[in-house]
Amino acid sequence: MAPRVPTLLSGSEWENQSSKIMLNAAKSAGMEGILAKRSTSIYLPGQRSRAWIKHAIRTRSSVLVIGFVGSSRSVAALILGAYDAENRLVQVGSVSSGLTVPMRRQLREDFRPLERPSSPLTDPSAAAETFPGVQWLTPRLVVDVAYRAHTAGGLRHPSLKGRRFDVDDRSVRVEDL
């Protein structure tokens, strides 16, 4: 049985609405995005058309880098964390998308003084199996990540957007995701 897809469409009340109104309604409804089309356009199976536009809703948040997977010269993926309501450091996912080759090398150099032999997580067993070969870091470096949703499994479709030098590492909270 196909999964049920939530919809905002229930008639002509969504015609001629601005994209801002549609995106805000979709976000409020917990949807991942909107699909808009020219009202005169018809659906043609298997064909793409500029008359149909898909727009995903992405959230952008600051998270801590708590570890990485890579080599002695470069970073392949970042392991991400944040502090929960009880002030425990928890893992919130990983990201490899958005890392350019120069950024991978620069981050590897920036990570050297932050390396540590064990997980900084309050419950280190939670991530041990998830990321074999991880090099753990003292959680001081803050990055911005765009993503579609934050679930129990982590951030969905994350993409690194850059470092944050203006955010205090102790202020990075799970509830802000």
Give tens-digit pLDDT for 130-172.
667 899 999 999 999 999 888 888 899 999 999 999 999 999 9
Using 50, 70 and 90 to split pLDDT, how confident is the model at 38?
A: confident
Please state, in angstroms and rounded to a whole number, the distance separating the CA atoms of residues 158 and 46: 28
3-state DSSP: the chain helix, strand, coil percent, rounded to 5? 20, 35, 45
User: CB 42: neighbour CB atoms within 10 A?
Assistant: 8
Q: Three-class SS of residue 70?
A: strand
User: Would you state the pLDDT for residue 128?
Assistant: 54
User: Would you state the pLDDT for residue 93?
Assistant: 93
Q: What is the CA radius of gyration of the chain?
A: 20
Percent residues over pLDDT 90 in the chain: 54
Mean pLDDT (whole number) for 89-94:
94
pLDDT at 94 over 90: yes
User: Would you state the pLDDT for residue 168?
Assistant: 96
